[in-house]
Structure 1
Amino acid sequence: MSVYQFSAKTIRGEEQPLSVYQGKVLLIVNTASRCGFTPQYKELQELYDDYRDRGFVVLGFPCNQFGGQEPGTEEEIEQFCQLNYGVTFPLFAKVDVNGDHAHPLFHYLKEQAPGALGTKAIKWNFTKFLVDRNGQVVARFAPQTKPHELRKEIEKLLSNKEG
């Protein structure tokens, strides 16, 4: 198994297989527009800008499961991200990340990289999963972990052409 077995609806409603990102290093993040961590969009975009030419992609998955902090439509979310943070990395349609209706990708991510004390549930917005070039989850980072703190791990994965 790898993340490439999954697909998801883009923010514009088209079904997209994640296999289009095969061979890339991915940072998969559940996002929200009205969260204390929302300013992380800026750093996520900076990471994307700095590393995309080397095969790095941020994938943003809006989620309204934590304090109702992503209430808007997909169109509103996309506009908010572009206008306020200049987001150009791929955004997907709103998903659930926990519970019976959680997107299958997030079931897989949580299985592969449990949180603190082995908990599977995602605790809040802006939980980050780092995925290597083979589609394998290598690390999970808490919402408080700022995106720029991941540079060393990202660079290590980018320099490894095999995985």
Structure 2
Amino acid sequence: MNPLGLTILGFPCNQFGKQEPGQRHEILPALKHVRPGNGFVPNFLLFEKGDVNGENEQKVYTFLKNSCPPVGDNFGNPTDRLFWQPLKISDIKWNFEKFLVGPDGKPVMRWHPSINISIVKADIQRYLLEQYTRDVFD
């Protein structure tokens, strides 16, 4: 958690191009030594690998997806890229789709995986400033 109360959570998943095939004990060493490598150690909480879409999706993702509108209406060409059934418009579209959840546990925003990180950062800063202003002046 940072001084503003923001906590980043990571949820590894192998449903997008089979890009996370490792077992639980292999994920952190792979990040550190392979991709991205160079001694990388995440500075956020990393949860166990699981499904974010389909019949076996984690309940947290069912909640998040039901709380925020979809970030797009298509999956591009899903052949040999997406590994779950059935496909639903509300599904996570690809790795690195992001959600912002408020301190009350309610989802606030959802970003497409291709959105520029500077936009995500600006949206989060704006949200945190709004929360701070509300807390100070209420």
TM-score (norm 1): 0.62
> Which structure has greater strand proportion?
1
Which residue of structure 2 aligns with residue 158 of structure 1? 128
In structure 2, distance between residues paired with 1:81 and 1:149: 25
Question: Deviation above 4 Å: which 4+ runs of structure 1?
Answer: none
Partner in structure 1 of residue 9 of structure 2: 59
Name the SS of the counterpart of 1:64 in structure 2.
coil
| Structure with higher RCO (Cα < 8 A, 6+ apart) | 1
User: Using a 3 Å threshold, how does the CA distance of structure 1 residues 77 and 123 change in structure 2: closer, same or farther?
Assistant: same
Residue aligning to 2:62 = 107
Give unmatched runs, 5+ long, in structure 2.
74-87
Find the aligned partners of 1:92 and 1:136 in 2 and give their Cα distance. Answer: 20
Change (3 A) 1:79 1:148: farther
2:107 equivalent to 1:137: yes
Tell me how far 1:148 sits from its aligned partner: 3.0
Partners of 2:31 and 2:13 lie apart in 1 by 14
Greater Rg, structure 1 or structure 2? 2
Q: Does the 8 Å contact 1:130/1:138 carry over to 2?
A: yes
SS in 2 for 1:150: helix
Instruction: Work out which of the residue numbers 43, 55, 79 in structure 2 matches 1:88.
Output: 43
When the two chains are superposed, the root-mean-square deviation of aligned CA atoms in Å is 2.1
Identity %: 37
Structure with greater helix percent: 1
Q: Which amino acid aligns with 1:76?
A: E
Give the distance between the partners of 1:81 and 1:146, measured in 2 at CA.
Answer: 22
Q: Secondary structure at the match of 1:57?
A: coil
Partner of residue 149, structure 1: 119
Structure 1 Cα separation of the partners of residues 108 and 92 of structure 2? 16
Whole-angstrom CA distance in 2 between matches of 1:59 and 1:133: 14
Post-superposition Cα deviations, 1:14-61, rounded to whole Å, max 9, x if no partner, equal: xxxxxxxxxx8xxxxxxxxxxxxxxxxxxxxxxxxxxx1211111000
State the 1:110 CA deviation. Answer: 0.6
